[in-house]
A and B are shown apart, each in its own frame.
Chain A
Amino acid sequence: MNELSTTLLTCALCAYVAGMVGALVFQRAERLANGIGFGLAAVGGCCGVLSCASALATGAATASRSFELFPSLIPYVRFSIHADALGCFFGMIVSLLSVALSVFSLGYARGYYGRKNVGVLGALFNVLLLTTTLVFLADHAFFFLIAWEIMALSAYCLVSFEHEHEETRSAGVLYFVMSHIGTCCIILGFLLLFQASGSYGFDSFHALGDKLSAGQRNAVFLLFLFGFGVKAGMVPVHIWLPAAHPVAPSNVSALMSGVLIKTGIYGMTRVFFDFMGTPPNWWGVTVLAIGTISAVLGVLFALMEHDLKRLLAYHSIENIGIILMGMGAALMFLHSGHSMLASLALIAALYHTINHASFKALLFLGAGAVLHATHTRNMEEMGGLAKRMRWTALFFLVGAVAISALPPLNGFVSEWLTYQSLLQGFGTTTSLIRLMFPLSGAMLALTGALAAACFVKAFGIAFLAQPRSEHARHAHEAPFTMLLGQGILVAACVWLGLFPTVFLKLLDPVTQQLTGQQLSQQLSLAGGLVLSGGSAQGGTVSTLGITLMLLCLLPVPLVLWVLFARRSRTRIAPTWDCGLRGLTPQMEYTATGFSKPLRMIFKALFRPRREVQREYDFSPYFTTTLRFESHVEEMFQTRIYRPLRWLVLRASRRLRALQAGSLQAYLIYIFITLLLLLMFAL
């Protein structure tokens, strides 16, 4: 990392701090607080993007030096930053989103004027950005944990920002509890690592796994997998995610889905690839299996949602699953010594990480703009917004195409790389376990197709056809800053989709650091136009070529138009209504109806329940009132978490006997503990 990027990085961190302080100082003047808080966050994001991208582009990140942020007065704790390639890559993601989300927030926060304290929102937003950046750059376990905890706390405060609603409060508490169970595991993991290395610095942890005993290694793996998995939202510890993300303000939902859950991915990458040396095979198998299950279940639960933001939150679980698939495959290849394939799978995972950050943030911003205009998150009350919110609709559509992994946008590219690594993985071993690769590839295909179905539903029900409520009928386009924020992310999605070979150069230092390979040369063919899966024979794809060819083929229908249809006219008329007196919005297909076939096909999983109450006067065919209710069982809550909670409550009721309130009993406890500790020490 050279002087310039170090300076820029410091500027970015200072801008976040200044934004936090400024927003708090000027909280009485809402406009000023909004401008300062989010304006400085945008500036900080710009500096961060420039710093990290330039460090990655020059490749200097591999030979980076660490520097102390400020001298520490506490023993064992060092506040030092080490912007290595992996940290820079994730720092780039958070900075990129920081720019887009802050610009969006300038307009979005206006909705809170007079209702809520915008200064506090801006300050917490800056704290979250600052601590997330520090999590990616921290070079010391204690510093990492401090940043990690402040990040979790500020995220909790932001989730609970609209705390008037009961739903928000309980979601906030759920997030808080889950997050701390995760942190607990991470602390234990770091303590195990400390035991072996004798220091808390990350540099002393490097490739430590080879020196640990097998039992310790596996314990460290499981602790970190669980701890970071909670933050990432992998199944089955995902339940906080669909509760917490939707209730937060939309700019915060975007930040949480885009970046916050990626801190879990960062942590896993850091620990599994940097700290743990050569992994045993079952690690990769476990991660690949969890990833596959998360991907499929995430998208299936997303399909059942008609709350637009909850739907997007479930898709985060799906995409974390896809990222974990790449990571699991990479671990398996590292075990079998195929470092080139491991790099390819890791590239696929990291590429999907930045892709998911960009399109998921874009979709959450779109949902925020819709929420802003219609005051509802329920898709059944939207509709017809494509005509009323033209730009938001277009941007949301771009995000929907990207997340459904359709060419030529970025989701397609990273899933293509995932497919390639899975397919090539079949040849790496001769054991039966290799069947996992094509099978999880098939599940990835299922995930992609279901995601497409889900986004046809989300876009089609929310933006197309007739408006389904008065609010939707009177919806208006979002203000310019909100559109600009989305526009930045649209540009990111398109760029990442069309120019993968350029972007892969930025990943070179990262794979060099983690697997010792640089693949961007090998993956780029025909001067960067074509992306290959490692060799020209193995398979190639060119999203830019596809786009250009689509444009080249465009003359075919246009020529036909001119040849045949020159004189034809176009008439606007009502939709065919089977002879009724006009179609009403009640006759449209609903989001619930749209996903009904899939609900029936996967009924073993969803256990759908419905209640229909009808009242009629003389014949059941002429109903006067009808009440319809439909529920889907949330399997993990009812099967795992509810019994677990019951057990915990029962155990604590038993334990309450210990806490009798008598001073003598407490003194005896202390005495016994002391005795035990002394016996242990001697």
Chain B
Amino acid sequence: MKVLAILLQTLLLLALAPLVSGCIKNWKAKLQNRRGPRPWQVYFDIAKFLRKDMVISEHASWIFSFAPYVVFLTALLAGLMVPMINTPAPLSLFGGVLAVIGLLALGRFFLALAGLDPASAFGGMGSSREMTISAIAEPAMMLAIFTVAITAGSTDLSQIAQSTQSATWKLLNPAHVLAFAALFIVLLAETGRIPVDNPATHLELTMIHEAMLLEYSGRYLAFMEWGAAIKQLVLMTLLLNVFFPVGLAGPGDGAAALGISLLAYLGKLLALSSAVVVVETTNAKLRLFRVPDLLSAAFVLATLALLSSFLFQ
């Protein structure tokens, strides 16, 4: 049963992640009066990358070949610890939210090393910026998560979701609202979305995530892109099911409940993706040294969330 759950969630993560990226791209284009690529274009891209020959830099070491696997696998494994359509998550025993953040950080560590490896200045620039932004995003993320973890008395994501579910009125608790806002900002930063990084940029000097991938091609690029999409899906799922576990199936529920849960999950994902699209379209990219202001705003929101959870308890 456990193995089946792991397999199904792995498949769901693998299949859904490119679609979410594709949908965001497509809707963003629509909202900007462009036709844009079809939502499923990302699947074709990945398949094409997988088939292509690879060109590897002569300066690169084994880190360069090792990193795509680490990025891909850590994102996938982190996804198995987050409840998607039912609690508990398949691997919730192996780690809660701290392990999820740790695994994503491990992937980022190797991604940044791989950016430095081919001796190109662009890659180094991307690595430097990525590590900087993630470092200042980290306290806001942790504090927001601590707020809900303390309320639930657990760092296990499934437990947190269940405890939010059991008291629905808490959805509009000011602590939860503020923590959600903080985490949403962190989500934009961590997934390289517009106020922080532009996923569609073609100018190397403004790139962050893409700059680290400049030297990648073929199969490795496919794993990197797919890994990034999975990471985005994982963070979105975390946000959705921790704060709005509406319809999330419980441990003993049957197939019907699981089906409803899947539909509810897709609906929520749709809403969150649209929010990301709206934010990306209505905002301009911030100057690099304005990003800390945004992220410290997230930190302040998270601190307020903590304070209000203290006051309203």
Contacts and interface: CB of A to CB of B under 8 A. Distances in A.
Contact of B113 (A443, A464, A466, A549): A464
A500 to B, nearest CB: 13
A576 B58 CA distance: 11
A452 interface: yes
Contacts of A386: 61-63
A596 B68 CA distance: 27
Interface stretch (B124-132, B236-244, B249-257, B265-273): B124-132
Interface string A534-552: 0001111110011001100
How many chain B residues sit at the interface, stated as a range, is 35 or more
Given A438-B143, A456-B113, A546-B77, A419 B99 contact: no
A571 B54 contact: yes
Interface in A434-458: 434-435, 438-439, 441-446, 448-450, 452-453, 455-457
A600 B291 CA distance: 12
Residue of A554, A564, A575, A589 with highest tally of chain B CB at under 10 A:
A575
B219 A564 contact: yes
B62 A545 contact: no
Interface string A639-676: 00000000000000000000000000000000000000
A393 B62 CA distance: 11
Provide the main secondary structure of the chain B interface.
Answer: helix
Contacts of B219: 560-561, 564-565, 568
B132 A598 contact: yes
Given A419-B98, A568-B218, A573-B55, A465 B63 contact: no
B288 to A, nearest CB: 7
A620 interface: no
A337 interface: no
A588 interface: yes
B223 A459 contact: no
Contact of A545 (B91, B299, B303): B91
Nearest to B135: A449
B12 interface: no
B196 interface: no
Given A419-B155, A435-B310, A407 B99 contact: yes
Interface string A557-569: 1001101110011
B56 A572 contact: yes
Given A537-B159, A540-B156, A575-B57, A587 B121 contact: yes
Residue of A434, A443, A465 with highest tally of chain B CB at under 10 A:
A465
Contacts of B142: 441-442, 444-445
B213 to A, nearest CB: 12
Contact of A589 (B14, B57, B116): B116
Contacts of B289: 597, 600-601
Given A465-B59, A583-B120, A545 B155 contact: no
Contacts of A594: 124, 127-128
B116 A461 contact: yes
Interface stretch (A10-18, A161-169, A183-191, A398-406): A398-406
Contacts of B47: 564
B52 interface: yes
Contacts of A573: 55-58
Interface stretch (B25-33, B37-45, B101-109): B101-109
A587 B124 CA distance: 10
Interface of B: 10, 14, 47, 50-59, 61-63, 68-69, 72-74, 76-77, 80, 91-96, 98-99, 101-103, 105-106, 108-109, 112-113, 115-121, 123-125, 127-129, 131-132, 134-143, 146-147, 149-150, 153-156, 159, 214-215, 218-219, 222-223, 288-289, 292, 299, 302-303, 306-307, 310
Given A435-B306, A572-B57, 6 more contacts: A406-B106, A457-B128, A533-B155, A539-B96, A557-B69, A576-B120
Interface of A: 384, 386-387, 393, 397, 401, 404-407, 412, 416, 419-420, 423, 426-427, 432, 434-435, 438-439, 441-446, 448-450, 452-453, 455-457, 459-461, 463-466, 525-526, 530, 533, 537-542, 545-546, 549-550, 553-554, 556-557, 560-561, 563-565, 568-577, 583, 585, 587-589, 593-598, 600-601
